[in-house]
Amino acid sequence: MSAQIRPVLAGNWKMNGVASSLSELSEIVEGHARFPDVDLVVCLPATLLSRAQPLVTDSGVAIGGQDCHADAAGAHTGDISADMLVDAGATCVIVGHSERRADHNETSETVARKATAAWAAGLKAIICIGETRSEREAGETLDVLSAQIAGSVPVEATAANTLVAYEPVWAIGTGLTPTAADVGVAHAHIRAELTRKLGDAAMTVPLLYGGSVKSSNAAELMAVDDVNGALVGGASLKAADFLAIAAVFGKI
């Protein structure tokens, strides 16, 4: 982990949560005071954002969306714009998650347009990249990451508007996790590719690791160079689990 980049722990609730679930967010807010050196972000279903906003005001915990449309407005039934997320209280948004790429056939070009739309609305973009199991087994991991960075990360990306999350698709929700050495190779490659594209601005862009992160492996993952935090799925749904990871981050 780079000492010059504050650790970021981002939670992705995915398609989970109703109003009663916000009690978990309240517990996260209360627990954050114990870890002032860790930035906590919880990306909620859009239906919960406006109700969550009062809970996080002046707390140091941020809330975000899980996707946004590339257009600012228009005839896109069922979609949500970046401006709508801001209006509901979000300060960031995930774009390009592997589940969006797979379930909705999102291309890297679409992801880049969504990131640009997020910035225009004043949101930070958490841009996700990562290889599938078949790509990994074929030895294509680094080529896939290079292609996704080239296509998904606009040249205007900076630490002020962007985080990049490496999520090996085969590790998401499976309980499988790459070795620390594998994560180190991937993150070093991502940093190098970002530097080639963005120049010196890339050196302070937080790189998050995602894929079956839990308190039992967080210390090992956070000790890897160029791992500046984590994007957590299932473990973010329960405050106790999420804060247990934050506790590990707070000790590093």
Q: How confident is the model at residue 211 (pLDDT cuts 50, 70, 90)?
A: confident
The yes-or-no answer on residue 193 being catalytic is no
What does pLDDT average to over the chain? 95
Domain boundaries 8-251, corresponding CATH code? 3.20.20.70
Active-site annotation holder among 69, 167, 189, 193: 167
Name the pLDDT band for 76 (thresholds 50, 70, 90): very high
- How confident is the model at residue 252, as a pLDDT? 64
d(C-alpha 164, C-alpha 209), whole Å: 9
pLDDT, mean of residues 131-142: 95
User: If you average pLDDT over residues 211-239, what whole number do you get?
Assistant: 94
Q: How confident is the model over 14-72, as pLDDT tens digits?
A: 999 999 999 999 999 999 999 999 999 999 999 999 999 999 999 999 999 999 999 99
245 pLDDT more than 70? yes
Beta bridge partners of 210: 231
Could you report the per-residue pLDDT of 104-135, keeping only the tens digit for each? 999 999 999 999 999 999 999 999 999 999 99
Does 97 participate in catalysis according to the annotation?
A: yes
State yes or no: pLDDT of 228 exceeds 90. Answer: yes
Whole-structure pTM value = 0.96
Catalytic residue among 32, 97, 187, 189: 97
Query: Nearest-CA neighbor of 173 among 8, 1, 44, 14?
Result: 14
Q: Is the pLDDT of residue 160 over 90?
A: yes
Q: What is the mean pLDDT of residues 82-101?
A: 98
Sorted by where each begins, the domain ranges of the chain are 8-251
